């Protein structure tokens, strides 16, 4: 599957009383590029089964939040959850759709996917501009036996409002007091100390791909699909782990949405020997005051994506973690209480 931005338009069809296919309202959606690979796959399968066309165009979590708050789209997707206060203020609801993993990626001569090891402190120091060479002693100490070049580090980050950035910087804030002090609290957009920006996960992936000596961060599906050299990470338990379905699932096992309000839960730097340290969630946002028919069609699509065995398989094939059945039941109860659906 080629990952690319496509025109954002969701055409919904319904059957008339006589069986003829009639055009229903057109929905639009925007937001997270982290969920885009699996959402694009789900859309294709859902269309085959139902005739409903769902083309998702991404745009970044910040764009999704802005658009749904302004009532410009039928649904938005974000990797940065909104607080209950924000939701109430703008007549919104949110629910989790998938668990994602965010991975550092590098472009270094002779370095293959999964060969290099980083930890939180080194990663923060790179993004602070303190570590500027790939053969810096701190990186060498984590990678004994791996030949590292005497090459300048080119830092790549997101240029747009990004939930991937929110979770990446949330992790850096947790593992580096210096990052937390100098850069501040995590957000979709921050004052980056160093580096060049790429738009969307795909923009970061493309910029790293063409820049020798670079490092960036993307949702793992982009690293795998583009055959980028992702790194391993030392996690909160001190264990070195790969960014894969197993380690994302280990981190997600700590997610107890039942104890949260409006599913607000951050999954970075979770405990556990097998947990991937930069694990996150993508949420879908709807307007409570949207036409009921609009929300009904969106809920139908996500009810299928959360419960259908084939949708779960498609997610796992791209290294996304489907939500557990208990969480799905909580989401269905939330839809009923908030939207009557």
Q: Which residues are annotated as a binding site for phosphate?
A: 32-34, 61, 79, 162-164
pLDDT (average), residues 157-172: 97
201 and 180 both lie in a single domain: yes
211: DSSP letter = S
Residue-level pLDDT at 79: 97
Cα gap 254→257, rounded to integer Å:
9
111: DSSP letter = P
pTM: 0.90
Cα gap 76→87, rounded to integer Å:
13
- What is the span of the domain harbouring residue 193? 102-253
Structure tokens at 154: 């080119």
Phi first, then psi: what are they for 22, rounded to 5°? -120, 145
Q: Which residues are annotated as a binding site?
A: 32-34, 61, 79, 162-164
Indicate whether 274 belongs to any domain: no
* pLDDT tens sequence across 252-271: 999 999 889 999 999 999 99
Cβ(25)–Cβ(17) below 8 Å = no
Indicate whether 36 belongs to any domain: yes
Q: Which CATH number characterizes residue 239's domain?
A: 3.40.190.10
190 and 316 both lie in a single domain: no
* pLDDT tens sequence across 129-164: 999 999 999 999 999 999 999 999 999 999 999 999
Indicate whether 157 belongs to any domain: yes
């Amino acid at each position: 599957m080629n990952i690319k931005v496509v025109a954002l338009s969701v055409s919904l069809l319904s059957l008339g009383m006589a069986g003829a296919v009639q055009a229903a309202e057109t929905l639009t959606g925007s937001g997270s590029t982290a969920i885009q690979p699996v959402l694009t796959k789900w859309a294709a399968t859902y269309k085959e089964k139902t005739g409903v066309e769902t083309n998702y165009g991404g745009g970044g979590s910040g764009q999704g939040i802005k658009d749904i708050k302004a009532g410009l789209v039928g649904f938005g997707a974000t990797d940065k959850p909104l607080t209950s206060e924000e939701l109430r203020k703008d007549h919104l609801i949110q629910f989790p759709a998938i668990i994602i993993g965010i991975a550092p990626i590098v472009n270094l001569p002779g370095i293959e996917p999964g060969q290099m090891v980083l930890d939180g402190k080194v990663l923060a120091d790179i993004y602070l501009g303190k570590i500027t060479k790939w053969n810096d002693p701190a990186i060498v100490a984590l990678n004994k036996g791996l030949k590292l070049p005497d090459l300048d580090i080119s830092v790549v980050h997101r240029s747009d409002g990004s939930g991937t950035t929110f979770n990446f910087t949330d992790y850096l804030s947790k593992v580096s007091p210096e990052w937390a002090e100098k850069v501040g609290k995590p957000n979709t957009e921050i004052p980056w100390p160093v580096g060049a920006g790429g738009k969307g996960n795909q923009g970061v992936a493309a910029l790293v791909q063409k820049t020798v000596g670079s490092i960036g961060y993307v949702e793992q599906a982009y690293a795998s699909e583009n055959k980028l050299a992702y790194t391993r990470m030392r996690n909160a338990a001190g264990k070195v782990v790969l960014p894969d379905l197993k380690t994302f699932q280990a981190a997600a096992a700590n997610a107890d949405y039942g104890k949260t309000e409006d599913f607000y839960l951050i999954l970075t730097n979770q405990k556990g020997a097998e947990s991937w340290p930069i694990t996150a969630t993508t949420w879908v946002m709807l307007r409570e005051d949207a036409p009921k028919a609009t929300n009904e069609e969106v809920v139908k699509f996500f009810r299928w994506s959360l419960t259908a065995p084939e949708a779960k398989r498609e997610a796992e094939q791209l290294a996304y973690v489907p939500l557990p059945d208990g969480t799905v039941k909580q989401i269905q109860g939330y839809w009923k209480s908030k939207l009557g659906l």
